[in-house]
Structure 1
Amino acid sequence: MINEYYILKHGNQEGPYTHTQLMDMGIGSTDFLISPLADGPQQAADLPEFREYFISVGIYMPTPQNVATFWWRLLAFIIDYIIVIVGLVIGFGAIGVFIGLTHRSVDFESPDLDLFYRVLFFLALVAYHSTFEATTMQGSIGKLICKLIVVDPDGYRLTFGKALARNFSKLLSSLLCGIGFLTILWNPMKQAWHDQVAKTYVIRKGQ
């Protein structure tokens, strides 16, 4: 029958199942299926009839067609950069008010605090991006506005640990005048160095 599929698990063939039954079972993108319309076993994500199903459950398989371009990622970064700076300014403003009320004296413009500000800003960016990438949003507010999400090689949402590793790896991408970010321009899957290290992809939804 044309609607019969078989699942390969541990070398064994299970089935037959219909297309609807497989979706009700919560078929995974990396599960191998024998399809009546394909030659040999294939991953479910490679079968076009399951594409809409995976998207509906939040699984976006990275392909050369749907990975986000450098310019979309740059726009999202600019939005996020502004958000983090505004957040830090508000935070420091609140601290300044508290210090004023307690009659303490702190020179926020001291050159000795420059490194502290840089480290704090980087850590704020890491925490901000990692937290949002591990939520159902799968990306920061800037990425949400630009319809971008971050996924693993199988199209799934990142764990917080993987998101944290990805964002700390941005230190690597920032080396040599940021060439690690510019690799998005010529990499076939539009990956920066930190994406390659963490094995992640930035997808533009709707592509």
Structure 2
Amino acid sequence: MNDSYYIQVKDEQTGPFTLKELFEQDLDVDTMVLAPGNEEWQEASYVPELFEYFEQQGIYLPTEGNLASFWIRFLAYILDLFFISIVLSIVAQDYVMQLSKSFYAENPTPEQAIERFKYSMALYVLLALYNTLCESTPMRGSIGKKLCRLAVVDADGRRLGVGRALLRNFFKILSSLPLNIGYLPILWNQRRQGWHDMVAKTYVIRRDA
């Protein structure tokens, strides 16, 4: 039975390798691999038995089996919102207390309505910057995502750069308006992507999958 692997290095075929020997090679996600039982070469990122290797390198490839559901992502969002609210309550306690009164006012004045809008937009921007910072670090996601064992990655399973993370999170503002409609495709989209994920070409995966 053929259990040998071959790889292409500088357009030259190298091998054969056992799977253990293959792990010792300097593989990249786009390294071309000929796996046992296959007649065609394919990128290493499409070979299931190499997923463990890439995870050891800090690369979490998005697959059908590890894409995060809408509900676990929603839980992570609630945790982040809770965390941000606590921080705001500490650093701007008087302002938050005053603003909360306007939110619960039965007949808000125009000034109170403007304050509500300003606070909401400031919260969106603060969340965008917070998520950008977290996603572009080795955390690969916010504190909420970390607690839920989630990570945000690109199509190759790599950590986002600052630019892509910023693009993703500012498009979240558009996904949130109106009525968070841009998040709903996560419920039925095969790739579990919201509008912001589609634009930035990113995925949210479960680390424990």
**What band does the TM-score fall into relative to the shorter chain?**
0.7 to 0.9
Between the aligned partners of 1:156 and 1:28, the Cα distance in structure 2 is: 11
* 3-state SS, counterpart of residue 190 of structure 1: coil
Moved more, 40-49 or 27-36: 27-36
Query: CA shift at 1:173, angstroms?
Result: 1.0
Between the aligned partners of 2:163 and 2:185, the Cα distance in structure 1 is: 24
Cα-to-partner distance string for 1:44-96 (whole Å, 9 max, x where unaligned): 02222212111111211111211000110010000000111111221213x87
- Answer yes or no: is 1:7 the counterpart of 2:8: yes
1:64 partner amino acid: E
| Number of the residue aligned with 1:46 | 46
| Number of the residue aligned with 2:120 | 118
* 3-state SS, counterpart of residue 202 of structure 1: strand
Q: Mapping of 1:94-105 within 5 angstroms?
A: none
| Number of the residue aligned with 1:151 | 153
Gaps of 5+ in 1: 97-106
Q: Is the 8 A contact 1:8 1:14 kept in 2?
A: yes
Between the aligned partners of 2:183 and 2:143, the Cα distance in structure 1 is: 20
Query: CA shift at 1:147, angstroms?
Result: 0.7
Q: Is the 8 A contact 1:136 1:157 kept in 2?
A: yes
| Number of the residue aligned with 2:197 | 195
Of the three residues 150, 166, 181, the one matched with 1:164 is 166
| Number of the residue aligned with 1:35 | 35
| Number of the residue aligned with 2:206 | 204
Cα-to-partner distance string for 1:161-202 (whole Å, 9 max, x where unaligned): 111100000122123321111111000111111111110000
| Number of the residue aligned with 2:78 | 78
* 3-state SS, counterpart of residue 16 of structure 1: strand
| Matched-pair identity in % | 40
Query: CA shift at 1:17, angstroms?
Result: 6.0
Q: Is the 8 A contact 2:7 2:31 kept in 1?
A: no
* 3-state SS, counterpart of residue 169 of structure 1: helix
**RMSD over aligned Cα, in angstroms?**
2.2
| Number of the residue aligned with 1:131 | 133
Between the aligned partners of 2:71 and 2:115, the Cα distance in structure 1 is: 33
| Number of the residue aligned with 2:106 | none
1:56 partner amino acid: Q
Gaps of 5+ in 2: 103-110
- TM-score, normalised by the number of residues in structure 1: 0.84
Q: Is the 8 A contact 1:8 1:34 kept in 2?
A: no
Between the aligned partners of 2:77 and 2:117, the Cα distance in structure 1 is: 22
Of the three residues 144, 163, 186, the one matched with 1:142 is 144
Q: Is the 8 A contact 1:151 1:203 kept in 2?
A: yes
Query: CA shift at 1:20, angstroms?
Result: 4.8
Of the three residues 167, 172, 175, the one matched with 1:173 is 175
1:201 partner amino acid: Y
